[in-house]
Amino acid sequence: MSSTDTERADHLRVLGLEDDEIQIYQYLLRIGPSSITELDQAVTGRTTPIETTLGGLVQAGLARRSGSDHSRFLPVPPDAGLEALTLRRESELKQARIEVLNAYDEFRRTVHNESTTHLVEVVTGTAIVERIHQIKDSAQREILAIDSPPYYLGAGPNQHEIDQLKRGVSYRVVYSPESVEVPGYLTENILPCVEAGEQARVLPDVPAKLTIIDGSIAFVSMSVRDTDVNRSLLIIRPSSLLTALLGMFELCWRNALPLHASVGTEDDRLEPIERRLLALLATGAADDTIARTLGISRRTFFRYLERLMNRTGASTRFQLALHAARENWL
Choose between 238 and 317: higher pLDDT.
Answer: 238
CATH of the domain at 36: 1.10.10.10
Q: Could you tell me if 234 and 211 lie in one domain? A: yes
Which of 258, 280, 303 represents a domain boundary (last residue)? 258
Q: Could you tell me if 180 and 310 lie in one domain? A: no
Query: What single string gives the DSSP state of each residue in 77-92?
Result: --HHHHHHHHHHHHHH
How buried is residue 178: exposed, middle or buried, by Cβ count under 10 Å (0-12/13-18/19+)?
buried
Q: Could you tell me if 10 and 96 lie in one domain? A: yes
Please tell me the predicted confidence (pLDDT) of residue 294: 82
43: part of which helix (H) or strand (E)?
none
Total domains in the chain come to 3
Give 214's Cβ-side CA count (13 Å radius).
12
Q: Taking a C-beta distance cutoff of 8 angstroms, is the pair 89, 81 a contact?
A: no
Q: Taking a C-beta distance cutoff of 8 angstroms, is the pair 175, 259 a contact?
A: yes
Residue at 213 is within a domain: yes
Q: Could you tell me if 157 and 241 lie in one domain? A: yes
Please tell me the predicted confidence (pLDDT) of residue 114: 47
The whole-model pTM stands at: 0.57
Question: Averaged over 296-301, what is the pLDDT?
Answer: 90
Report the C-alpha gap between 112 and 143 in whole angstroms.
Answer: 30
Please tell me the predicted confidence (pLDDT) of residue 316: 75
Sequence-separated (6 or more) residues with CB below 8 Å from residue 53: 18, 20, 21, 24, 46
Q: Could you tell me if 81 and 131 lie in one domain? A: no
Ordered strands of the 34-35 beta sheet: 34-35, 72-75, 63-66
CATH of the domain at 203: 3.30.870.10
List pLDDT tens digits, range 252-282.
Answer: 998 887 776 654 444 556 788 888 888 777 7
List pLDDT tens digits, range 193-233.
Answer: 988 999 998 887 888 889 999 999 998 887 655 555 567 78
Q: Could you tell me if 251 and 303 lie in one domain? A: no
Q: Which domain holds residue 102?
A: 3-106
CA quadruple 308, 312, 316, 322: dihedral sign: negative
Residue at 128 is within a domain: yes
Residues in the chain, total: 330
